[in-house]
Structure 1
Amino acid sequence: MKILIIEDEEGLRESIAEYFTEAGNICETAASYSMALTKVELYRYDCILLDITLPGGGDGISILKKLKENNYTDGVLIISAKNSLDDRLQGLDLGADDYLVKPFHLSELKARVSAIIRRKMYNGSNLLLFNELSIDLQAKTVKVHDTSVKFTRKEFDLLIYFIANKGKVVSKNAIAEHLWGDGIDIADNFDFIYSHIKNIRKKLVEAGGNDYIEAAYGMGYKFTGK
């Protein structure tokens, strides 16, 4: 999962980022309204954890309005100390997927985020089925027919990303940013993307599956199949 944490409280922001990163997710953070606005305008996320009260000229509600205006489909979980019914209803009416009141346990936060992503991308199921592929999103395992196939974490994330965007051409920039987030700024080139794709193709075919990844020359790659 690729997650954006918009939270001005440094200790909580870092705790959430560490918790999700240790679980194998890509985490980016924003401590102010201006920083958050820049990120949501430039990048897409599987889920945005959004505090309502922010420094820097705006608030979380304004971020929600911006997402709605641009028809962005990022999942949004509001995390706020505000517990009034009006705040909850306004956030949900503007497109938030859930609302969690501070303080909360990180395990509950993770469960809420996972539920949002399952609902938005995989019809609420932990099991993603695509032709001969059977993917357990929670256990992070892949089977081709009945054969288990071992993928690295990045290969697994890339396979899921392709399936979630099947039929669409995704650019190398989009792939790199999804897999590495802010860390992609230090990369000299995108050769590592080709290596990951080559490995995915090889592992699927050797296990008796199809090669669904097509190169769209000059643009990126497309995951095909029905």
Structure 2
Amino acid sequence: MKILLVEDNPELTSNISNYLLDQGIVCECATSLFEAQDKILSFSYDCIILDLMLPDGNGLRLLELVKQKKIDSSVLIISAKGSLDDKLSGLDLGADDYLAKPFHLAELLARLKAIYRRTKMQGFDEVVFNEITVINSQFQVLVKNQLLDLTKKEYDLLLFFLTNKDRVLGKNAIAHHLWGDYTDDLSNFDFVYQHVKNLRKKISAAGGRDYIRTVYGLGYKFDTAAL
């Protein structure tokens, strides 16, 4: 899961991002509307954690942009503003959930997982495609009922492919999904090829088909029509 946290409080930002990273979730941060707008127009995120009170405006403006541009990101609003009007305004604009401050980080994580299951996994904990089964709550992958020994990045990569079947995913998009802002320090994305290669090898070794196709000059695609 890849998250964009839009929050201007440094302490809260640090607490949330460190907690999510400890849970194996890629978390990027933005401290203003301007910075958040730049990020969502440049990169993709599974979910945006959005504060309403930002230094350069109301966070609802970002939510409006997400819906206007049809950006495929869920939105979880977090705000100390406890009025019913603020909550209803966010939900009416298309937010997926609302969490009032202060909150426990474990509850935030539970809300994020629920949103992800609902929006990316059709409400189920498992993603099943032919002989491949992903059990998200246990971070397990089975191929023909055989448990695969995957690294966290390989697991995230497979889930990324399965939730974007038949879509061409560029190396840049894959890198940012798996590593977030850390990819800015890298000179190339050769490591993406290595992770794809390892994932293919492990699926094939368990008797699974190789659904991952290389789209030369662009990236990769999980091809559901593969024989």
Task: State the partner residue of 1:50.
Answer: 50
The TM-score normalised by the length of structure 1 is 0.97
Shift of 1:66: 0.6
Gaps of 5+ in 2: none
- Look up the SS of the partner of 2:116 in the other structure: helix
Task: State the partner residue of 1:67.
Answer: 66
The number of residues matched between the two structures is 225
- Look up the SS of the partner of 1:73 in the other structure: coil
Q: Percent identity?
A: 50
Gaps of 5+ in 1: none
Amino acid at match of 1:26: V
Distance 2:150 2:165 in 1: 19
Task: State the partner residue of 1:205.
Answer: 204
The TM-score normalised by the length of structure 2 is 0.97
Distance 1:86 1:19 in 2: 30
- Look up the SS of the partner of 2:128 in the other structure: strand
Amino acid at match of 1:19: Y
Amino acid at match of 1:116: I
Distance 2:218 2:100 in 1: 43
- Look up the SS of the partner of 1:124 in the other structure: coil
Runs in 1 of length 4+ with deviation above 4 angstroms?
Answer: none
Distance 2:5 2:153 in 1: 21
Deviations 1:61-90 (A, max 9, x none): 000011011011201000001111111111
Task: State the partner residue of 2:173.
Answer: 174
Distance 1:4 1:97 in 2: 15
- Look up the SS of the partner of 1:189 in the other structure: coil
Distance 1:73 1:191 in 2: 27
- Look up the SS of the partner of 1:215 in the other structure: strand
Shift of 1:31: 1.2
Distance 1:95 1:177 in 2: 25
Task: State the partner residue of 1:136.
Answer: 135
Distance 1:14 1:138 in 2: 25
Task: State the partner residue of 1:116.
Answer: 115
Task: State the partner residue of 1:21.
Answer: 21
Output aligned runs, 1:84-95, within 5 Å: 84-95=83-94
Deviations 1:2-27 (A, max 9, x none): 01111111111110000000011111
Amino acid at match of 1:178: H
Shift of 1:157: 0.5
Task: State the partner residue of 1:126.
Answer: 125
